[in-house]
Structure 1
Amino acid sequence: MKTLTLEAPAKINLTLDILGRRTDGYHDMRMVMQAVSLGDTVTVAEAAGGFSLLTEGISLPAGKVTLEQRAADAFFHRLGRPVPGLEVRLAKRVPAYAGLGGGSADVAAVLRCLRTLYAPDLPRQALEEIGLAVGSDVPFCVRGGTCLAEGRGELLTDLPPLPDCAIVLCKPDFGLPTPELFARLDGADLGPRPDTAAMAAALARGDLAAAAACLGNVFERVLTEEEGEEIRSIKEALLRHSALGAAMSGSGPTVFGLFDDRQKAVRAKEALEGRYRQTYLAAPVKILEKME
């Protein structure tokens, strides 16, 4: 029986800028995305018939077609063959609705498993295109590493990797509704924008301190007073504990800090997890799927 287990790394946004609303209702984005070692574990196995998803660490609403099933349907539609019986097992560690792309990472891991098991000659670009039909972050999560992402997030350009560092991630105990945050951006005065070009230049030099100085996310500019106060409090705590820089990831509310010393990062994590139970220590992850 065919079976494969893969890790599904989460992502952070080193920079995130929104250029404007498109005619199709989406927004044009320009951002630098980075895969991190905090991740879920996905196992795909052949089964007698149908599609089933077994989860650990998260409960899913009954009766809805899951993103994982949509990914399998899209994959086999691309191959021009029926979907075989499949059982997907998901061990969830990445917090949901956190700005870390956990759901997209799981879908990408399912697609990577299916390619290895059923179509090993399928190019990575084709796998990314299949992923885009499920979600805008899925193409990056298929690829991993460090990328400039444009368009909806699907136009990817590989960048030099983020230098080795420790990353502390801290999610406060509230959620931020992504559609509402995008709506807040429309027509808002966002002030100075994240300098994505300077981030790319810092990565090209392998300069971690310069990269940390370029962290930025326009979603932080449209938070409510209460939301913004909590995010700033976490950023300030990370900086007090020697983070080189800190920012909110994606549409939040997870905040991350970059550290050039793992022991300092461990102390920062220990200081924060007394108040924030969803606090994690991670590291950058390099490219998962190389271009064939």
Structure 2
Amino acid sequence: MKFAEATTNGGISILSAFIDGLGGAFSIDLPLTATVYAGTRRREDRLMEAIRSEFGIKDQLTYKVKSSIPAGYGLKSSSALVLALAKASLLYKSVDIEDADLLVRLANISKAVGLSATGALDDLCQALYGGYCITDNKRMKIIKRGKLPELAVLVCARGETRPSRSINIRGNYFKVARSAENLAQRGFIFQAAVLNGFIYGTIFGIDLETVRKIEENGANYASQSGKGPAVFGLFTDPSDAKRAKMDIGFGIVTKINNHGIRYRIYDS
């Protein structure tokens, strides 16, 4: 029996595109693997049906997913799933799509099935390439992307989830959002992520006590991942990240990820 498998990763927000359409994210080593094979699922699957329709795949396909990304906490689980499932399906059918075309079409799928209000091109981009990506989600263009120092990362996710499809922002945040965008454009990726997290923490709330403990344990940077509610810390020394996790009492210690999607086809 033939199987196609694709592994992507979660990420952390640099810029959240809800305010004016500019988005950014960097990849962290929290993998999600989708495995596709012939068959049908018991219940209707809007995402798989949308992928099959978009790419002209007539075969009935089913899949299984193994993920280490906490879902609904601002850590890019939806985009990791969309990309992994689409890539595995295309690989299964030996369909080759250019990266730029693939990303735009998957962003449109994400909006169509209600996974993202903006299409999350930035999140899809980091899941495809690793490192960081800055994108214009209105014009569906990649502005810049690159690699980052592979710092240790602590992510702490708890509380009620905040699905991207239901985000509603009241108030004028354009000027402060532009400040974060200017930092990102000038290459200050981590500083932009920190400011962006506090902008959205002001709007939706932020776990300041956990951020404080992360900082006290030696983090270089600490904030919320976009709309959250997950918060993160970046550390030079992984032992500091582990100590912070022990102090807080929960969390996941990982690192920045600079490799992109990985995939394979095999028989079993």
Query: Fold conserved (TM > 0.5)?
Result: yes
The structure with the largest alpha-carbon Rg is 1
Pairing partner for 1:68 from 36, 40, 48: 48
Question: Paired residue for 1:23?
Answer: none
Task: Report deviation, 1:243.
Answer: 0.8
Structure 2 residue matching 1:11: 3-state secondary structure: strand
Amino acid at match of 2:240: K
Question: Paired residue for 1:199?
Answer: 184
1:285 paired to 2:253: no
Task: Report deviation, 1:165.
Answer: 0.4
1:216 paired to 2:199: no
Pairing partner for 2:69 from 78, 84, 94: 94
Q: Which deviations, in whole Å up to 9, do the C-alpha atoms of 1:219-242 show, x marking residues without a partner?
A: 11212xxx43xx211111110111
Unaligned runs of 5+ in 1: 20-27, 54-62, 203-209
Question: Paired residue for 1:13?
Answer: 13
RMSD of the TM alignment (CA)? 2.7
1:4 paired to 2:1: no
- Equivalent residue runs for 1:140-155 within 5 Å: 140=125, 141-152=127-138, 154-155=140-141
Question: Paired residue for 1:34?
Answer: 26
Pairing partner for 2:234 from 258, 269, 279: 258
Pairing partner for 2:221 from 245, 257, 278: 245
Q: Note if contact 2:150-2:258 (Cα within 8 Å) is conserved in structure 1.
A: no
TM-score, normalised via structure 2 length = 0.80
Sequence identity percentage:
20
Pairing partner for 1:43 from 35, 54, 59: 35
Structure 2 residue matching 1:10: 3-state secondary structure: strand
Structure 2 residue matching 1:258: 3-state secondary structure: strand
Question: Paired residue for 1:57?
Answer: none
Amino acid at match of 2:260: L
Cα 1:251–1:195 change in 2 (3 A) is closer
TM-score, normalised via structure 1 length = 0.74
Task: Report deviation, 1:159.
Answer: 2.2
Cα 1:36–1:178 change in 2 (3 A) is same
State the distance in 1 between where 2:228 and 2:13 align.
10
Task: Report deviation, 1:179.
Answer: 5.4
- Equivalent residue runs for 1:72-151 within 5 Å: 72-75=52-55, 77=56, 82-135=57-110, 136-137=119-120, 139-140=124-125, 141-151=127-137
Cα 1:285–1:157 change in 2 (3 A) is farther
Q: Note if contact 2:32-2:84 (Cα within 8 Å) is conserved in structure 1.
A: no
Cα 1:99–1:124 change in 2 (3 A) is same
Structure 1 residue matching 2:176: 3-state secondary structure: coil
Unaligned runs of 5+ in 2: 111-118, 263-268
Task: Report deviation, 1:171.
Answer: 0.8
Amino acid at match of 1:255: V
Q: Which deviations, in whole Å up to 9, do the C-alpha atoms of 1:98-136 show, x marking residues without a partner?
A: 111212211100112123332353211222122122211
Task: Report deviation, 1:266.
Answer: 1.4
State the distance in 2 between where 1:18 and 1:133 align.
16
Q: Which gives a bigger RCO, structure 1 or 2 (Cα 8 Å, sep 6+)?
A: 2
Q: How many residues align?
A: 247
Cα 1:132–1:189 change in 2 (3 A) is closer
Amino acid at match of 1:92: S
Question: Paired residue for 1:267?
Answer: 243
State the distance in 1 between where 2:139 and 2:70 align.
21
Task: Report deviation, 1:68.
Answer: 3.5
Task: Report deviation, 1:281.
Answer: 1.4
Amino acid at match of 1:151: N
Cα 1:44–1:177 change in 2 (3 A) is closer
Question: Paired residue for 1:167?
Answer: 153
Cα 1:14–1:101 change in 2 (3 A) is same
